[in-house]
A and B are shown apart, each in its own frame.
Chain A
Amino acid sequence: GDSVTQMEGPVTLSEEAFLTINCTYTATGYPSLFWYVQYPGEGLQLLLKATKADDKGSNKGFEATYRKETTSFHLEKGSVQVSDSAVYFCALRDGSGYALNFGKGTSLLVTP
């Protein structure tokens, strides 16, 4: 079945450092890919998405490119801020389905 694998956390970075959170997936067909962010005590919020190969999703300085050849959707940000501290979830939704398959989440802590 479909699945998403994320790098284990927690990830601790200093403010203004470069961020990469790895995400790879297994799916039949052509899934849509998503990154969600969860701030403490809140629900998940959509951060960005990509619906086909080579699409780049971007939002709030975060980017991720849908790479079909490597089945990856890595999240990147050039300069993180303390306010980016949160848990980040990679997810996929296959072409015929309705449900989201989530990765386990990666906790990010950015220190001043």
Chain B
Amino acid sequence: DAGVIQSPRHEVTEMGQEVTLRCKPISGHNSLFWYRQTMMRGLELLIYFNNNVPIDDSGMPEDRFSAKMPNASFSTLKIQPSEPRDSAVYFCASTKEGARNQPQHFGDGTRLSIL
């Protein structure tokens, strides 16, 4: 079975540029999460979608960050304009909601470097 697929795996860009990260959740999963991982802050939840609807975006750092889920098989996380402090590994995870002990399945992440 295909797992959560993220692209690109690595992104290096200059500050001020727009960055778009992509995620394809596992087929049949109805919940999707975007996380950011840094050495200083560990894993932080940015936003949570359920049935394609954003439920909790309280973790989104600021207005420069936006996320969409136009359908059940695709989500994007966009940063515009990007800043060096946005450099991190961004993970997407999905799960099938309905039982509280269902684990989240993670993609391999996008390593983002803003110069």
Contact = CB atoms under 8 A, between A and B. Distances in A.
B43 interface: yes
Contact of A102 (B42, B50, B108, B109): B42
Interface string A40-76: 0111111001010000000000000000000000000
Interface string B16-46: 0000000000000001010000000011010
A93 B108 contact: no
Given A46-B103, A93-B100, A98 B50 contact: yes
A10 B65 CA distance: 32
A102 B45 CA distance: 9
Contacts, number: 48
A25 interface: no
Contacts of B106: 36, 43-45
Q: Is the interface of B mostly helix, strand, loop or mixed?
A: strand
Contacts of A41: 108
B104 interface: yes
Given A43-B106, A49-B101, A98 B42 contact: no
Given A41-B108, A43-B109, A98-B50, A34 B103 contact: yes
Contacts of A32: 100-101
A99 B101 contact: no
Interface of A: 32, 34, 36, 41-46, 49, 51, 89, 93, 95, 98-100, 102-105
Given A89-B43, A95-B100, A98-B97, A42 B31 contact: no
Contacts of A34: 103
B79 interface: no
Nearest to A44: B106
Contacts of B55: 98
B107 A102 contact: no
Contacts of A95: 100
A66 to B, nearest CB: 11
Contacts of B33: 99
Contacts of A99: 33, 45, 48, 56
Contact of A51 (B101, B104, B109): B101
